[in-house]
């Protein structure tokens, strides 16, 4: 089983076919960065058209059992998520609405301060806000997973402590392996994993040691060390693959409508677009390289199976359902 905890590709029939060639059974796809509710509904509509156009390649995923159905029919299950709470605007009632529409993950913030929490680019992290506490409760109730991939450290720890259900960091790496602003220090990973949460390892070059030149051996050794430290059952892949996206999309991701200036984030002013991916992970057909690399790094067959998809499957099964 192969499950990717996060992608934001420029979706096309070519990519859907590569998913099948790569044996990818499920992918959590981002359908909102800074969109409001109505704009996010338009993104749901766009995905509905793709699901209708390519029914032999992809299907909508709402629960873990849909992954089994996708595997049995030779398709990839698509699970929707938001990298910002902007789709719920300032209305807690929209949490249930977006879950009903099919959303299964929502970040409490994307880099900046939101109505719910503090982003990792802010100088001061004031933690979870009053509204954030209420939204966490509602997300727990309906089965919308809390994602803290772009959040500040205090906010992430508080979210893990406040949530009655496990939370996720769908796409990031340990800060002590690569000190990128978006990567997570020990105390954050520990707070998430010891409460049953998940860490998905990112392949976005700015999050990798040596960036685009990161070796497969270095990446897999990092996974092996992280699993040994926090428990192999709490880790998976969240590739953050942005395949075929034009550089203009980076501007939308980082800037949205909140600034008139270009925010280069963890990139550089001289290279504001997408950095080249490592040679060993160019698209969905390359998950086999990670699988083999993990075996070479000393993981058991059971541990490799967990990292490649089994752990996400269990997490989906336990956390996408509503609670009364």
Q: What is the pLDDT of residue 264?
A: 64
How crowded is residue 190: how many other Cβ atoms within 10 Å of its Cβ?
15
| Residue 36, token pair as written in the block | 């409001």
Residue 155's φ and ψ, nearest 5 degrees, are -60, -40
Report domain extents, the chain.
3-319
Binned at pLDDT 50, 70 and 90, residue 253 comes out as confident
Q: CA-to-CA distance for 145 and 186, rounded, in angstroms?
A: 22
For 263-320, how does the pLDDT look when each residue is reduced to its tens digit (9 = 90+)?
766 654 445 678 899 999 999 999 999 999 999 999 999 999 999 999 999 999 999 9
Mean pLDDT of the chain: 95
Q: What is the pLDDT of residue 266?
A: 62
Are the CB atoms for 11 and 230 separated by under 8 Å? no
Domain 3-319, CATH: 3.20.20.140
The pTM for the full model equals 0.96
Q: What is the pLDDT of residue 40?
A: 98
Are the CB atoms for 27 and 79 separated by under 8 Å? yes
**CA angle 282-226-286, nearest 5°?**
15
Residue 196 clears pLDDT 60, i.e. is over it: yes
How crowded is residue 251: how many other Cβ atoms within 10 Å of its Cβ?
15
For 125-182, how does the pLDDT look when each residue is reduced to its tens digit (9 = 90+)?
999 999 999 999 999 999 999 999 999 999 999 999 999 999 999 999 999 999 999 9
| Residue 72, token pair as written in the block | 């049995």
């Amino acid at each position: 089983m192969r499950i990717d905890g996060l992608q934001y590709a420029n979706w096309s029939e070519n990519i859907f076919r590569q998913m099948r060639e790569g044996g990818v059974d499920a992918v959590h796809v981002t359908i909102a960065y800074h969109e409001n509710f109505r704009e996010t509904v338009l993104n749901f509509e766009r995905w509905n058209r793709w699901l209708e156009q390519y029914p032999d390649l992809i299907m909508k995923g709402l629960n873990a059992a849909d992954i089994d159905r996708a595997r049995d029919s030779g398709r990839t299950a698509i699970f929707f998520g938001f990298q910002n709470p902007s789709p719920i605007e300032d209305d807690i009632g929209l949490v249930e609405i977006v879950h009903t529409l099919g959303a299964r993950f929502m970040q409490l913030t994307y880099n900046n301060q939101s109505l719910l929490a503090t982003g990792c680019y802010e100088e001061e992290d004031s933690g979870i806000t009053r509204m954030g506490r209420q939204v966490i409760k509602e997300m727990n109730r309906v089965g919308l997973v809390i994602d803290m991939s772009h959040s500040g450290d205090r906010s992430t720890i508080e979210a893990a402590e406040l949530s009655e259900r496990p939370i996720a960091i769908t796409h990031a790496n340990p800060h002590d392996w690569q000190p990128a602003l978006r990567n997570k220090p020990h105390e954050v990973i520990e707070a998430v994993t010891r409460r049953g949460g998940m860490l998905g390892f990112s392949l976005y070059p700015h999050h990798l040691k040596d960036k685009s030149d990161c070796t497969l051996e270095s990446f897999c050794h990092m996974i092996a060390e992280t699993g040994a430290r926090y428990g192999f059952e709490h880790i998976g892949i969240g590739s953050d693959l942005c395949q075929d996206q034009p550089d203009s999309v980076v501007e939308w991701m980082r800037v949205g409508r909140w600034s008139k200036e270009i925010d280069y984030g963890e990139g550089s002013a001289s290279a504001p677009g997408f950095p080249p991916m490592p040679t060993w992970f160019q698209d969905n057909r390359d998950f086999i390289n990670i699988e083999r690399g993990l075996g070479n790094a000393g993981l058991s067959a059971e541990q490799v199976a967990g990292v490649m998809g089994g752990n996400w499957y269990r997490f989906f099964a336990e956390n996408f359902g509503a609670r009364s």
